[in-house]
Amino acid sequence: MKIAIGADQAGYKYKEIIKKFLVEKGHTVDDFGTDSEKPCDYPDIMRPVAKAVAAGKYDRGIILGGSGNGEAMVANRVKGVRCALCWDLRSARLSRAHNDANILSMGERMIAIEEALEIVELWLNTPFDGGRHLTRIQKIDAE
């Protein structure tokens, strides 16, 4: 799978660990930044990730911050993006199965790295269940 990944300074450490994890699993990963724990403006990173996923350049995207909330809000402003803020395995599974989420947002301050890696793996491997839950979202995306 081709994956775009990005984080602000508060998600930088997890981004680096998740990026390595994804490459070890055989995925192609492009890093949109940031490259340190130096403060940055998260929309400058999240918006390009979201635009690239929406344009079909990537199969999925993963974005990280302190809580993941602001990052998800920025991503969801891009037409064609369905970004899910996930904090456990259940929310990750449902975001894919029922909502066909194409970007995963997580908060480094909210969950342990071991749980974050489990969420990433489950989220990437959960298929969309077929559409009965997404009909309205697809109509909104088409507008």
CATH code assigned at 45:
3.40.1400.10
CB 101 within 8 A of CB 83: yes
- Per-residue pLDDT of 28-80, as tens digits, reads 999 999 999 999 999 999 999 999 999 999 999 999 999 999 999 999 999 99
Tell me the mean pLDDT in the region 24-30: 98
Number of structural domains the chain divides into: 1
Return left, alpha or beta for 33; rule: phi > 0 is left, psi -120 to 50 is alpha, else beta.
left
Q: Give me the active site residues, please.
A: 71, 98
Query: Is there a contact between 75 and 46 (Cβ–Cβ < 8 Å)?
Result: yes
pTM for the structure as a whole:
0.91
Q: Break the chain down into helix, strand, coil percent, rounded to 5.
A: 45, 15, 40
Residue with tokens 């037409």: 79
Q: How confident is the model at residue 100 (pLDDT cuts 50, 70, 90)?
A: very high
Domain extent for 82: 2-142
Confidence label for 129 from pLDDT (cuts 50, 70 and 90): confident
DSSP lists the bridge partners of residue 135 as: none
Contact 83, 112 (CB under 8 A): no
Q: How far is CA 116 from the centre of its chain?
A: 11
